[in-house]
Amino acid sequence: MLNNTQRTDLIETAKKARLAAYAPYSKYNVGAALLTKSGKVYLGANIENAAYPTTICAERVAIFKAVTEGERDFTAIAVVTRDGGTPCGSCRQVLAEFAPNTVVIVANEAGEVVRESPLHELLPGAFGPQNLNVNP
């Protein structure tokens, strides 16, 4: 569980990460700040591409950075958008791979929390390693 200071810090960090977004097509900048169980925070910003399918979301940037640094246990992720839009299905699925109980905090550009819930409420019945009968 996050305390108020951690929540506020994570949202403020995601707001700063949002400034690094490359979104010339949608103009919908997204910032993410992923808190790991070790206490490290990984940032992500959305990066668009003229070939839309190659665009990557802020949440996945943060997750992939953490994973490539050896982190696999996540506590919370703050996502900041203009209007408090929630993570897309692909981002939810990638988070579910590692931490289905991660707290997802969604805030608007003013830093106001629009939604806060564990990932499994945003993606009920997620497909995961348990479905393949393997342990990653």
Task: Please name which of 117, 80, 81 lies closest in space to residue 100, comparing C-alpha atoms.
Answer: 117
Strands 113-118 and 31-36, sheet pairing: unpaired
Residue 13 and residue 23: Cα distance in Å, rounded?
19
Give the residues across from 56 on adjacent strands. Answer: 47
Concerning whether 59 is annotated as a catalytic residue, the answer is yes
Given the residues 48, 59, 112, 116, the one annotated as active site: 59
Active site residues: 59
